Amino acid sequence: MKFPGYAIFRNPQNRKWYAALMEVERNNLGLNGEGMLDILDVKCSHEKVEELKSLKGFLPAYHMNKKSWITILLDGSVEKQMVFKLIEESLELSKKVANRRKNGHIKQLRDKKTYNSRV
């Protein structure tokens, strides 16, 4: 296994990632000290990412899109309930992305049929 300290959370319906649990070096996160740290990356709205970055225990996403993801330090600095809430919100966002893509594809098919019937 290439990254034994990593785990990916996937939406069971569409296989989209909604969280990534990782064990990374503190210095890779720009933090002082040595050693490994458990982190969790979750998907958030752009507004939520901006809001959370200013709070203790949150960093710009590690190894993910920094506009849509946030890193949560799992060192006790963020309340467990907040972590669980963010995981749930991330799962919901992964459902919405899939629905938007699916609905967009259906609309494209409808438009194509309408166009073909006119020709």
What confidence category does residue 102 fall into, taking pLDDT thresholds of 50, 70 and 90?
Answer: low
Domain of residue 26: give its range: 7-118
Residue in 95, 52, 92 with CA at minimum distance from that of residue 72: 52
pLDDT score of 96: 80
Q: Which CATH number is 64's domain given?
A: 3.90.1150.30
Mean pLDDT for the stretch of residues 16-43: 93
1: in domain: no
pTM strictly above 0.85: no
Percent of the chain with pLDDT over 70: 80
What confidence category does residue 119 fall into, taking pLDDT thresholds of 50, 70 and 90?
Answer: very low
> Structurally, how many domains does the chain consist of?
1
What confidence category does residue 4 fall into, taking pLDDT thresholds of 50, 70 and 90?
Answer: confident
pLDDT score of 111: 57
Contact yes or no for 37/7 (Cβ under 8 A): no
2: in domain: no
51: in domain: yes
